[in-house]
Amino acid sequence: MATISVPALPTATPDDSTNAARLNWLRAGLLGANDGIVSVAAVVVGVAGAGASIGPVLAAGGAALVGGAVSMALGEYVSVSGARDAQRTGQAALAARRATDAAETDDIAEAYRAIGVTPDVARTIADELGRPEVRERWVAAEELAAQDEVVSPWRAAWVSAATFTVGGLLPFLATLLVPASVRIAVLVVAVLLALAATGTTGAVLGGAPRGRATLRVVLGGAAALVATWLAGTLLGAHAL
């Protein structure tokens, strides 16, 4: 006889699935914006550190903005396509299992008897769970939970590209609109403030401690800026 665990009652609802999907989209948007901020700012700071004038700095920033958005979109499309294919395979297996669910009634009764439920009560529970209308609701809840969020790869691609672009515009505009004498200082401050905002928002959405999550994002962004500045400075001193 197969060993099974005592079944838990399904709890997934359409509202739960909708809310989870919405939160996941918000988190994905924040991640895309965060990547845009750090990626473009790092390129701009690195090229500026090499001693380049405003023209090459803006050209490099613009290229990073466009290339990063395309790369993010392609990555999301491939990732979500693969996840959707795997999810559809799992749903097909779940649908196929429905044909054999009725044969599991004896196993369910045995599972309840194994934890101390009297045989008559265990059989009653198994029979109730095996009723067609109950089983249909159970399978529907399982399918809803399994769906998690089957999303369109195209939608994932454009959302990722859009949020990356919005995030990447911040350092690009900070470089373009401020005087050269304070350009790097303003860029660094703007980037760190923006990262603090995305880190805090992501922590709120994920229910994580705000301070720790925000600090991780800010320190990571600061490290990226320092690293690219040093790399640009070294390369500029020896190659330009």
Could you tell me if residue 110 is inside a domain? yes
Q: What is the mean pLDDT of the chain?
A: 76
Q: What is the pLDDT of residues 203-231, one digit of tens each?
A: 887 777 888 889 999 999 999 999 998 98
| Residue 77: inside a domain | yes
On whether residue 149 sits in a domain, the answer given is yes
Is 155 part of a structural domain of the chain? yes
Q: How far apart are CA 25 and CA 79, in angstroms?
A: 14
Residue 240 CA to residue 227 CA, distance in Å, equals 19
DSSP 79-120: HHHHHHHHHHHHHHHHHHHGGGGGGGHHHHHHHHHHTT--HH
Query: Which pLDDT belongs to residue 38?
Result: 92
The reported pTM is 0.66
- For residue 45, the tally of other CB atoms under 10 A from its CB is 29
Identify the residue with better confidence: 78 or 108. 78
| Whole-number percent of the chain with pLDDT over 70 | 70
Q: Which domain holds residue 235?
A: 30-239
Q: Classify residue 38: in a domain, yes or no.
A: yes
9-23, 33-47, 111-125, 179-193: which has the minimum mean pLDDT?
Answer: 9-23
Find the mean pLDDT for residues 96-115: 67
Q: Look at residue 165 and tell me if it is in a domain.
A: yes
Number of domain units in the chain? 1
The answer to whether residue 5 is domain-embedded is no
What confidence score (pLDDT) does residue 9 get?
46
Residue type, 137: R
Most confident of 21-35, 93-107, 155-169: 155-169
Domain membership of residue 39 (yes or no) is yes
pLDDT at 219: 93
Give dist(CA 177, CA 150) in Å, integer: 42
